[in-house]
Amino acid sequence: MKSYLKHIFYPLACLLFSLFLVFILFVSGFELACYGNPSYYRQEFQKYQVQEALLENRGESIPLSDLEKVMGETLRYLRGDRENLIIPVSVNGVEQNFYQEDEASHMADVRVLFTLSLTLRMMFFLSLLAIVFLLVILEHGRALAILGKGFLYCMAGFLAILLLFFLYASQNFDQAFTQFHLLFFSQGNWSFDPALSRMINIMPEEFFADTALRILMHYLFLLVFPFLFSFFFVKRAKGWGYPKEV
């Protein structure tokens, strides 16, 4: 029984614990990056001169404050805090709904993906607590050392994969961006012409590249904490009377 726990159940529990935690922190990092600082979008709009792009590509003048309102309400929509994307803005002095039908359709798909991620985060959090609870019952204080050591092993492989993906995406962002959309939005309603779409003018590809990097930075910041805790528990194992091998 002890051999089964040590060689099969504990490694599996550590792997699931690590995967659940990685997903939880990624979604949380995404939220922090996208929802934590509303002024970020104003800075990006000014950086990429989106008002000028709208005027050049569509002959439309929209106040910057209206574009900020669009972004804020869109973020609320994506997390399920509003029911639709009927967001009126001033276009050449005339009030119009910002989103067109095809744009709203794509954003509805994004909403499904994001709200699913939020639901999975809660499910994985509860599952993570269940794993910790079960290991504490089986091993008492040793559970923290077991999970800490398992997390560090799992993260060594995960960070290597993340580094490779980052290097690939930083050199081939266009291709990575396209592959991401083909994977998650296979219905094909994600490609837009700047002459026909307001949305792609205020959220160009460069904006998504900046935002992806911002999400990554927040994600790595959050990962620091479980790393520190894991090192602490593994290092303190002897002092707490844990055996060397767990």
DSSP codes joined into one string, the chain: -HHHIIIIIHHHHHHHHHHHHHHHHHHHHHHHHHHS-THHHHHHHHHTTHHHHHHHHH-----HHHHHHHHHHHHHHHTTSSS----EEEETTEEEES--HHHHHHHHHHHHHHHHHHHHHHHHHHHHHHHHHHHHHHHTTHHHHHHHHHHHHHHHHHHHHHHHHHHHHHH-HHHHHHHHHHHH-TT-TT---TTT-SHHHHS-HHHHHHHHHHHHHHHHHHHHHHHHHHHHHHHTTTTTT--S--
pLDDT > 70 fraction of the chain, expressed in percent and rounded: 93
Residue of 227, 224, 215 whose CA lies nearest to 28? 215
Structure confidence at residue 118 (pLDDT): 96
Q: Contact, 131 vs 17, CB < 8 A?
A: yes
Position with higher pLDDT, 5 vs 132: 132
- Is the pLDDT at 238 greater than 60? The verdict is no
Query: What pLDDT, on the 0 to 100 scale, is given for residue 56?
Result: 95
Task: Give the pLDDT of residue 2.
Answer: 57
Output the CA torsion sign for 218, 222, 228, 231.
negative
| Comparison of pLDDT for 36 and 178, the residue scoring more | 36
Q: What local confidence, expressed as pLDDT, does residue 218 receive?
A: 96
pLDDT band at 5 (very low <50, low <70, confident <90, very high): low
Greater confidence (4 vs 110) lies with: 110
Say what the pLDDT of residue 36 is: 93
Cα 222 off chain centre by:
12
Whether 4 has a pLDDT exceeding 70, the answer reads no
* Mean pLDDT across the chain: 89
**Residue 179 — very low, low, confident or very high, per pLDDT cuts 50/70/90?**
confident
Confidence check: pLDDT of 103 > 80: yes
Beta bridge partners of 90: 95
Least confident of 113-127, 138-152, 179-193: 179-193
Grade residue 3 by pLDDT with cuts at 50, 70 and 90.
low
pLDDT for the residue numbered 242: 44
When pLDDT is averaged across residues 178-198 and rounded to a whole number, the result is 83
